[in-house]
Amino acid sequence: MKLILGSASPRRRELISQLGLTPEAVRVPDINEDPKKGEAPRDYVMRIAREKSAAIASGEDEVVLCADTTVTCGRRILGKPEDEKEAAEFLWLLSGRRHHVLTAVVVRQGETVRSRLVDTIVKFRPLSNADVNGYLASREWEGKAGGYAIQGLGGAFASWIQGSFTGVVGLPLAETSTLLGSFGIHPSFEGH
């Protein structure tokens, strides 16, 4: 079986390599990722991951891996900030609070689709003006759900985490490994 990664995310490519796997190809799905009016965050993230998977053409000997990650605070979906102002709004909203990072993983071969939703709780310490302004200046928030990267400078804001660290980064490795294994693709720990 050939692994096809359905994502342009360099973080997901790095995480897959931690399993000792290299995708045969990377195919980027082109879908509308806007939430539907009133859509619950859990439903939203799973729908997007499934739509990504369905949008990727694949052969019989190919297994497609797609994922989607979103940050939620209450019922509010915090996607990728459109600009610095929205990134600041997200950071202040998360300051001193718990929030959920939801990552849906979908693995498909032909018509067979298997999926998992991983919910990780992250608590931010209270942020100062210097924290927020410094982080905004770093530009690390660009293209990141919730406006931060826990594996980068944003990790200094997380006072604790309950769940999957790699899920917050963008691909929960334990669940992904299990899903891929069910299609005959297993981690390779040789050379590590």
Tell me how far apart the alpha carbons of residues 52 and 65 are, in angstroms, rounded to a whole number.
9
**143 token code pair:** 């293209």
**Among residues 68, 83, 119, 131, which one is catalytic?**
68
Q: For residue 97, how many other CB atoms are within 10 A of its CB?
A: 14
Task: Note if 43 is an active site residue.
Answer: no
Which residues in the chain belong to E strands, given as ranges? 2-5, 25-26, 62-73, 76-78, 98-109, 112-124, 158-162
The answer to whether 12 and 5 have CB atoms below 8 angstroms apart is yes
Closest CA to 71 of 176, 169, 174: 169
In 3D, which of 33, 55, 57, 38 has the Cα closest to residue 145?
33
Q: Which residues are catalytic?
A: 68
